[in-house]
Amino acid sequence: MSSPESPVVVVGAGIIGLSAAWHLAGLGQRVLLLDSGTVAGGTTTAGAGFVGQWAAGYAWYWNESERDVEQYGIDFYRDLAGAGHGPTGYRQNGNVWLTVTERGRADHLPPFEQHPLRPAGARTLTPAEAADLVPGLDPAAVTAGFLHPDGIQISAPDTARALTASARARGVEIREHTPVSGLEARDGSVTGLRTAGGEVISADRVVLAAGSWTNALLAPFGRELPTVRVVASRLVTTPFGLPGSLPTLMLPELHGLWVREHRGGLTYGAGPGYEPLHVGGADRRDEPARRPVRTDLLDAMRTYLHPIVARLLPAAASVLGVDETPTQGVVSMTADRNFIVGAVPELRGLVVAGGDNESGVTHGPGLGRIAAELSVTGTTTVGDASRYAPARFPAAAPTEAEVVAMMPARREADARRAGAVS
Give the Cβ contact number of residue 51 at 10 Å: 30
Q: Does position 323 have pLDDT exceeding 50, yes or no?
A: yes
Please give the pLDDT value at position 1.
Answer: 40
Averaged pLDDT, 314-340: 95
Question: pLDDT tens digits, residue range 394-405?
Answer: 999 899 999 999
Averaged pLDDT, 318-337: 94
Strands 144-148 and 200-202: unpaired
Give the Cβ contact number of residue 29 at 10 Å: 19
**Strand partners for 97:** 146, 250
Please give the pLDDT value at position 284.
Answer: 62
Averaged pLDDT, 86-115: 97
Contact (Cβ atoms closer than 8 angstroms) between residue 351 and residue 6: no
Question: pLDDT tens digits, residue range 199-245?
Answer: 999 999 999 999 888 998 999 999 999 999 999 999 999 999 999 99
Which residues, at least 6 apart from 281, have a Cβ–Cβ distance to it below 8 Å?
none
Averaged pLDDT, 282-292: 67
Q: Does position 341 have pLDDT exceeding 60, yes or no?
A: yes
Question: pLDDT tens digits, residue range 29-67?
Answer: 999 999 999 888 777 877 889 999 999 999 999 999 999
Please give the pLDDT value at position 290.
Answer: 66
% of the chain at pLDDT higher than 70:
96
Averaged pLDDT, 77-85: 97
Question: pLDDT tens digits, residue range 379-389?
Answer: 999 999 999 99
Task: Using pLDDT thresholds of 50, 70 and 90, give the confidence band for residue 194.
Answer: very high
Please give the pLDDT value at position 211.
Answer: 86
Q: Which range, of 95-109, 178-192, 282-296, averages the lowest pLDDT?
A: 282-296
Cα–Cα distance, 383 to 367 (Å, whole number): 9
Please give the pLDDT value at position 285.
Answer: 62
Cα–Cα distance, 287 to 245 (Å, whole number): 39
Residue among 173, 288, 180, 194 nearest 232 (CA):
288
Dihedral of alpha carbons 371, 364, 216, 340, sign: positive
Q: Does position 3 have pLDDT exceeding 50, yes or no?
A: no
Averaged pLDDT, 341-347: 96
Averaged pLDDT, 147-163: 96
Q: Does position 355 have pLDDT exceeding 50, yes or no?
A: yes
Q: What is the DSSP string of 176-242?
A: -S--EEEEEEETTEEEEEEETTS-EEE-S-EEE--GGGHHHHHGGGT----EEEEEEEEEEPPP---
Torsion, CA 287, CA 290, CA 291, CA 293, rounded to 10: -10
Please give the pLDDT value at position 231.
Answer: 93
Q: Name which residue leads in pLDDT, 354 or 261.
A: 261
Cα–Cα distance, 202 to 200 (Å, whole number): 6
Q: Does position 421 have pLDDT exceeding 80, yes or no?
A: no
Task: Using pLDDT thresholds of 50, 70 and 90, give the confidence band for residue 286.
Answer: low
Q: What is the mean pLDDT of the chain?
A: 94
Q: Does position 136 have pLDDT exceeding 90, yes or no?
A: yes
Please give the pLDDT value at position 255.
Answer: 95
- Within 13 Å and on the Cβ side, how many CA atoms surround 409? 14
